[in-house]
Chains A and B, each alone.
Chain A
Amino acid sequence: MKKVILIGMICLSLNSQALTQRIEVLGMVCAFCAQGIEKSFESAKNVKAVFVNLEDYFVAIESKNEKGLDEMVIRKIITESGYDVKKIEVVPDSVSVIKKKYEPK
């Protein structure tokens, strides 16, 4: 029982350290083109989860710590994938919560 509580507390503390950033992307109009963004963020350091949303033209990334990804790194990844950044903001929801909101059931 103690072990379960301990694991639960560790999980909670790890989750509280994560940071989610929402990036509005200009020009991201098809899945074939947007896969580069997903692959690049997935292979970036400090990234735990990535979610691409074509309907509302944004990408959400969840980092492994509270610092998040440097904006310069984000802009570099988006630009090298062929797109431009419109806006970067920190959002309270985790990527899994955002996925649930937007992905078809």
Chain B
Amino acid sequence: MIKIIKIYAMAIILFTSYQSILQAAPMSYKGSTTSMATISKDYSSLESSYVITTKDAIGLRAFKSTGDSHTIKAEGIFYLRKLMRINAINSQTNLWLFADAGTINVKKNLKNKDHYYLSPTLQFDYETKGLFGLISHQLLRVGHDNFDTTKIEGGFSFYEKSYKETQPWFILKAKNINNIFNKIEYTPTLRLINKAIFMDAGISMDGKPSLHVMYTF
């Protein structure tokens, strides 16, 4: 009994002490694999996940984020759970939970230190054929440092296309990573979706280009 309590206490300590970073869109259909990559000046990531049930997926992820005072690099696994989906005739509403675990390296004042991390993320999104909105928050605490990440995205489709045609969207992304970004970063983005391929290309208000590509197979 004491052993179980110790394990439970350790899990809570790990959960509140160590953490990861955030990604874009989540789960496709059962049995599918989704891979994605994001590249920008201060953030890059690579990940792949497999959908094991209609509500659960598991995956691998690596990312690097560079700020003025901190640089973080992480590799780990994640579990994704679809907590809620509301399918209406012309819309889809989702609530997702990500649970990341792995190792993270924090570079601060020219000193490097490795940690283990556990990191939960909650993501809420709403989509119709012409509108899209997303809000997410990730808890990422490494030692005494706070790298919590918040994202808000919203946009619209320029015009309606058929299933097999490429559909263009305009999305405005706002993102903040504590201790990495000094301010909220706004990125106007062009999104192109063509069945299995999903691509975001944008330039932030500070002139930093970013590219996000996702493919499901």
Report which A residues bind B (CB closer than 8 A): 24, 26-27, 29-40, 52-55, 57, 79-84, 86, 102-104
Q: Contact flags (1/0) for B159-192 with A, using CB distance below 8 Å?
A: 0111111010000000000000000000000000
- With both beta carbons as reference points, the residue of chain B lying nearest to A53 in the complex is identified as B163
- Closest chain-A Cβ to B155's Cβ sits at a distance in Å of 13
What are 25 A-B residue pairs whose CB atoms fall within 8 Å in the complex?
Answer: A24-B89, A26-B88, A27-B92, A31-B163, A31-B193, A32-B28, A32-B193, A32-B195, A32-B196, A32-B197, A32-B198, A32-B216, A35-B28, A37-B29, A39-B29, A39-B32, A40-B29, A54-B129, A54-B162, A57-B90, A79-B54, A80-B29, A82-B82, A102-B162, A104-B162
Contact B163 A29 (CB under 8 A): no
Which residue of B28, B87, B162 is within 8 Å of A27 (Cβ)? B87
B145 close to A (CB within 8 Å): no
- Closest chain-B Cβ to A52's Cβ sits at a distance in Å of 5
What is the CA–CA distance of A1 and B53 in the complex, to the nearest angstrom?
55
- Closest chain-B Cβ to A37's Cβ sits at a distance in Å of 8
Which residue of A29, A53, A55 is within 8 Å of B92 (Cβ)? A29
Once A32-B196, A34-B163 are accepted as A-B contacts, the answer to whether A26 and B30 lie under 8 Å apart by CB is no
- With both beta carbons as reference points, the residue of chain A lying nearest to B197 in the complex is identified as A32
- Closest chain-B Cβ to A88's Cβ sits at a distance in Å of 15
Which residue of B29, B89, B127, B198 is within 8 Å of A82 (Cβ)? B29
Q: Give the residue among B86, B129, B161 with the most A Cβ atoms within 10 A.
A: B129
A-B CB proximity, top 4 nearest: A36-B29, A27-B87, A26-B87, A27-B92
What is the CA–CA distance of A39 and B30 in the complex, to the nearest angstrom?
11
Contact B195 A27 (CB under 8 A): no
Which residue of B29, B129, B216 is within 8 Å of A30 (Cβ)? B129
What is the CA–CA distance of A82 and B195 in the complex, to the nearest angstrom?
16
B128 close to A (CB within 8 Å): yes
What is the CA–CA distance of A80 and B127 in the complex, to the nearest angstrom?
19
How many inter-chain residue pairs (CB < 8 Å) link A and B? 84
> Which chain B residues lie closer than 8 Å to A35 at the CB level?
28-29, 195-196, 216
What is the CA–CA distance of A55 and B163 in the complex, to the nearest angstrom?
8
> Which chain A residues lie closer than 8 Å to B115 at the CB level?
none
- Closest chain-B Cβ to A94's Cβ sits at a distance in Å of 18
Contact B196 A29 (CB under 8 A): no
What is the CA–CA distance of A57 and B25 in the complex, to the nearest angstrom?
22
What is the CA–CA distance of A30 and B30 in the complex, to the nearest angstrom?
17
- Closest chain-A Cβ to B180's Cβ sits at a distance in Å of 29
B112 close to A (CB within 8 Å): no
What is the CA–CA distance of A34 and B206 in the complex, to the nearest angstrom?
36
What is the CA–CA distance of A104 and B87 in the complex, to the nearest angstrom?
27
What is the CA–CA distance of A26 and B82 in the complex, to the nearest angstrom?
17
Which residue of A26, A33, A55, A79 is within 8 Å of B160 (Cβ)? A55
- With both beta carbons as reference points, the residue of chain A lying nearest to B34 in the complex is identified as A32
What is the CA–CA distance of A81 and B28 in the complex, to the nearest angstrom?
7
Contact A27 B29 (CB under 8 A): no
B69 close to A (CB within 8 Å): no
